[in-house]
Every structure is written in structure tokens, then in C-alpha cells.
Structure 1
């Protein structure tokens, strides 16, 4: 289905959410229609944040907002759906558009398989009626579903369109860039030259994939790295849990700007705990690159200053190889927690692969190391 048809049937004029690769055509169209206009479209930090923004829109206008997300973000929706939007509380209507990763019978990555199985049943538990938009769904089918949802929306309930892979199409494509030139993979390579036997906890997305392939090329094995293939935004908290129990080990976090924004409170908890062995590397390309390269709010965030304000002992920034090399030398003698923000270009190799080990194999190798 053409995404313009889908948007026309939704009939909304406010959208917020977290981008998903299955919704790339959808988000591209929104960014084209509403460039730099947060009154009509805003990319949120996480799905709960999006639901709350949508609630504010409804309170101000009386209209029905749309919240979009990958199904992995349903967990972040549970609290605001159950304690804010639900008819037993404030009865705030909302339309959810959910990318269905891990749909049963469709091959996907391990972190999406269980979430795919429970996507619609979780919506049922939350009392949210849903329909699946498939490749062969017609405009008439969609309008019928939208009409069926009207009664629920009028009663202050929420409804969901669950989007099958490839169901939405568009010829429109927006290529996002930033001002930086340092490739993320090169930054990671320089980091590995400096970390030695330290343990690394890497965030979900292309950073983990590049880290895996760098280890392969270097013949170093994968026991040093915990690749957080799902659970976006929680790599830093996983690393904190490790660092507090293993004061004898140097622990590095490889984070991303989108992930850091998603659960930014983790920085305050790290600052409070003061783990001397924790080094936080935040690769900031101002984009949700792994799901289409859509912009984050990071362009307006000074992560180095935020970390210091949260209690980190020191923070550094680098945007080229010379600055990165100098910062890495300084980190060798720094007590944590310390943050290094690496400003990198958007982009990855076209032939970038995925880890060939299972998450449980990764866990066992990491724990053994």
C-alpha cells in the first residue's frame, strides 16, 4: 500500500513516535510533510515519551493523535497506556502504528522473535483492538478497519494498526547527513586498539555489528564483548551492573545517541554510583541509523555537559582521528565514571553483516572471559 493512502485513511494531523525500519516509508513521508514542525510531527526519545506527548496533544485539541513504533517498544508503552490513556483513567484516544518485527513465520533476528510472537496478544492484554496491514491490504480494507475503530476511539480507547514487513511503500527517500566525517567503524577500530583486555558492553544496532566484524578481522574472538542486540537504551545500565560487581575489571560502554536519549536517566544513576572502572563511549551521529538514519534530538544535546552534571568525573569530546587518539590516551589514566563523546558521520558499509553467534553463545563467552 502506498503510504500516502495509509496516512489519508488515518486522517490525523499529529504524529509522534520512535522510527522503525518497517515504517521507513511512513516516517519519510512525515518528515517530508512536516519539516521542522513539532506541532505536527516529533520524533520522541522513547515510546512512553511519545504516548505522553500524544496525550498532551489530545488535551490541547480534542483530536486523535498517532503514535508510531517498532513492536519492541511496546514495553515502553505499557505504563502510559495502563495508567494514563486507558478509559479507566483519563480515556485518551490514540492510534498506534506498530512495525511487526519477528512476525511468526517471517525470518528475523533473535531479539525480535519472542516480541513478534506476543505483539498482538500484548495489545489484547492492554485492551487495544488491532488489525494487521499486509502487502495485499487494500484501501477499502483499511477504511473498513478505520471505521470499525471509531467506536473505540470515541470511548477514549486506543487502537493499533500492526504493519507487516513491506506493507507500506513510497518512492520518497530522504537522506540524512550531519557535519561530521569520522566513520563510526574507524572510531571503533581505534577504540579496540586501546582497550586491551577490557570488557565492552555495546548497544543495539550497527555499532554492535561493526564491533563483531572488527573482532573477526583482528582474530580476537568475541569473549570481550557483550552485544546488546535488543533492549535499546539499556547497555549503560548493564555495564553498570557488571562494573559494580567486578571492580578488578575495566568496563567500557559503546553507546549511541538514540539509545542514550531513550533512557537518559541511566547517566544520573551511573553518576550516583561512581564506578571507578566504568568508561562510557557515546558515538553520536545524531541519527537512529539502524532503522533508517532518521534524526534524533541529539543535535541539541551536550552529552559531555550532561554527564558532568550527572556526576561523571570527567568528559571528553572528539570528532576526528587526532582528537580521538588524544582522548583515548587520557582515558588510560582516568578514574570513572567518565564519558567520551565521539561525533561520527552517518553511514555504514553496504556489506556489513550480523553476528553469527546466538545471543546465548555471546553471553556464555562473555561471562567466561
Structure 2
């Protein structure tokens, strides 16, 4: 295994002077290292992976030195346009190192949404005509691989990809930073996301369509339905595609003039594709309700802070055209918040401030994604609106 601190030093020696990207569970120790040991101007957690490539391009234009872009391979799609139409040697020829966590690597057990992505990752890189290699797991060999990758990237004016296998990085000496404290004096004063989710689900009642975002939120909703034997048929648990839950919910709500459609989102997911908000507002289904569970971190991949503390989420939604938006930070205030949304009609948004973290024994949906799709479609077609 590689000590993240050693690898960061090797990258600096090779000429890398900016780290930017979207956190990944396979890279969380490396992310913790650069987040804790790098000045703010030297590390940027981007809203999405394409943004990170843009940052790397701007950094090179100003400094003449390459950046490192980090991401999970599920985010490769977000990078295709800026990699192929901007950074490519046939266009601007921008050198950068791209560090990619190889989720779903063939032969390594992983969740369903990662298996195909893992299998086709090398072919995608080849189709993009990007030079790539697998990062060695031994410190000296990793440093040599990084040095050669940077040298090739600079000489050829091309991004160079290093794929990172599961278990490559040892534990970082630097812990991931804490999210900003809430107005009451600290995140511990807030409810957990699971507590807030249970309270919300109880408040919504039966017969509501629920689309939940990828990550811990969907797993918590799954466990709630298992415990209570309630309403799972109208749930769509989005187990991949971070940032797209609100668009999926909009696609359903456009055909649900009577039945409520609730999108349960996270702050990192919301930030990844903020452009979805004005699109929701433009089409304005009165049955569309958007709930953002805001814990200030990328909880599913290591707890790295998001940039949500720069945003007044309800004000943002209103400025994008939502009919109503408000926020709560306690379970006691949640029923009134839900009632306000329903009274205003959609599109309407409720931000729920919650604390980071989740149970270690949290389960996972047992149905395959295809089985879940079929069950949701049947339930939507067969169950009458309340």
C-alpha cells in the first residue's frame, strides 16, 4: 500500500501544483491527505468532474504546471466533453494527471451500478485516445509511475490517466476536515439524516412517489421500508448517476398531475447538476416536491466537505423559479415545513439540515436495479393516486 503523504510528495516533485476533483471512496485517504495538507488555492473540491477538468485547464494556462484531477470512474462521463474538446492534443493540448478510482474492476466484487462501468473503463480511455496505466501499489514504483506520467503528459500535451485499484492507499495521517458548524453551535445539535428521513417519510404518508438520490440516503430509505413494510413500490432508489435524481423525479411528475412526487436529494448531489433546478421550474409540475438533506459533506465516499456552505439553498431554489422554498434544522419543525410545501404546491423545496454520518450496519437494497425498475413501473401504473 502507498502512504498518501508519500505519493503527494512524489507528485509535487514531478511538478503537480493543484489538486481538484470529486471525492471517491477508493481515493478517500489520498483526498484526506491533500485536503488537510494543501492550502486552499492548491486544492478544490469541484461540483462535478467536468468542472475539475476545466479548473485544471485554467490552472495550466496561468501557471504552466499540470494539475491532478481526481474522480471515481463513474464520473468519466462528465469529463468526456472537456477532455476531448478542450484538453486533447488535437485541440488545446493541456497536460494534466487524472487519478481515477477503478470501481467495479473485473474480478473485484462491487455494487451493481459499478460493474459495467468498471468493465468498460479501459475501453473508454482507449476510445478517448488517452494514455493510461494502473498505479502500482508499492511506494517507489508509484512515484516512478507518476513521474513518467507527468513527463509524458507535458511532452505530448495530453491528459494522462492513472487507474487506482481498491486497497492501493494506506490510511492518511490527516483526517478529513469537519463540516461547518450550524447556527446552534455545532453539527451534533442537528438530527441525523436517517432520523430526518424517517420523520419525513412518516409525514408524507402512503401513496406518494419517492425518488431518492444515490448513496446512503437510498439505503436508509430501503431499511425504513423494510422495517415498516410501507409503500416501497412507489419508491425509485437511484443507486447510481449522482446528481440526476431531481431530473428523474421531474420525468415522473410531468405525468402525475394528481399524485405527489417527492425527490429526496443530498447537498453534493444537488451541487453536481444545479442546472436541473431552473428546468424543473420552467416546466413547473404542481406535484413536484424537492427535499435536500444537507450535511455539508460527501458522506458516501469519506466525508469530504462540499461547497454547500456558500449557498442559501432555499434562496437558490426561489431564484431558479421554484414556487416556494424553505429550510428546517430540527425534527420538530419538519411537519410545518412539509405542510408549507403542500400548501404552496410544487415545484417547492425543503432543505433539512442534518449531521454527517450513518450507521455502520446500514443495509443495501436486495433487488437488482432491473427488478427495482420493473417494480416501480408496475406500481406507478397500477396504484391509483390518493
> Quick check: TM above 0.5?
yes
Partner of residue 8, structure 1: 9
User: Structure 1 residue 142: deviation in Å?
Assistant: 4.1
Query: 2:194 matched to 1:185?
Result: yes
**Contact 1:71/1:100, CA 8 A, preserved across alignment:** yes
State the Cα deviation string for residues 29-61 of structure 1 (Å, max 9, x = none). Answer: 0111125x1x20010000000000110000000
Pick aligned residue for 1:316 from 326, 344, 350: 326
User: Structure 1 residue 139: deviation in Å?
Assistant: 1.2
The answer to which of 91-100 and 353-362 deviates more is 353-362
Instruction: Find the residue that maps to 1:131 and give its secondary structure.
Output: strand
- Measure, in 2, the Cα distance between the counterparts of 1:20 and 1:151: 25
State the Cα deviation string for residues 250-295 of structure 1 (Å, max 9, x = none). Answer: 1000000100000000001001111110000011111100101100
Query: 2:163 matched to 1:159?
Result: no
User: Structure 1 residue 176: deviation in Å?
Assistant: 2.4
**Matches for 1:103-114 after TM superposition, within 5 Å:** 103-114=105-116
Partner of residue 227, structure 2: 217
Mark the runs of 5 or more structure 1 residues left unpaired by the alignment: none
- Measure, in 1, the Cα distance between the counterparts of 2:360 and 2:145: 40
Instruction: Find the residue that maps to 1:332 and give its secondary structure.
Output: helix
**Contact 1:17/1:44, CA 8 A, preserved across alignment:** yes
**Matches for 1:42-191 after TM superposition, within 5 Å:** 42-135=44-137, 137-140=138-141, 142-144=143-145, 146-147=147-148, 150-172=151-173, 173-174=175-176, 176-177=178-179, 178-179=181-182, 180=187, 181-191=190-200
Partner of residue 281, structure 1: 291
The answer to which of 97-106 and 316-325 deviates more is 316-325
Pick aligned residue for 1:27 from 13, 16, 31: 31
For the aligned residue pairs, the C-alpha RMSD in angstroms reads 1.4
- Measure, in 2, the Cα distance between the counterparts of 1:287 and 1:133: 27
Instruction: Find the residue that maps to 2:104 and give its secondary structure.
Output: coil
Query: 2:301 matched to 1:294?
Result: no
- Measure, in 2, the Cα distance between the counterparts of 1:56 and 1:349: 40
Pairs aligned (count): 366
- Measure, in 2, the Cα distance between the counterparts of 1:141 and 1:328: 52
Pick aligned residue for 1:17 from 21, 28, 32: 21
**Contact 1:153/1:159, CA 8 A, preserved across alignment:** no
**Contact 1:5/1:139, CA 8 A, preserved across alignment:** no
TM-aligned CA distance change 1:145 to 1:287, over 3 Å: closer
**Contact 2:203/2:335, CA 8 A, preserved across alignment:** no
State the Cα deviation string for residues 60-83 of structure 1 (Å, max 9, x = none). Answer: 001011000000000000000011
**Contact 2:96/2:150, CA 8 A, preserved across alignment:** no
The answer to which of 263-272 and 327-336 deviates more is 327-336
User: Structure 1 residue 330: deviation in Å?
Assistant: 2.2
- Measure, in 1, the Cα distance between the counterparts of 2:370 and 2:141: 45
**Contact 2:210/2:234, CA 8 A, preserved across alignment:** yes
- Measure, in 1, the Cα distance between the counterparts of 2:216 and 2:64: 40
Could you list the structure 1 runs, at least 4 aligned residues long, displaced by more than 4 angstroms after superposition.
Answer: none
Mark the runs of 5 or more structure 2 residues left unpaired by the alignment: 380-386
- Measure, in 1, the Cα distance between the counterparts of 2:103 and 2:67: 23
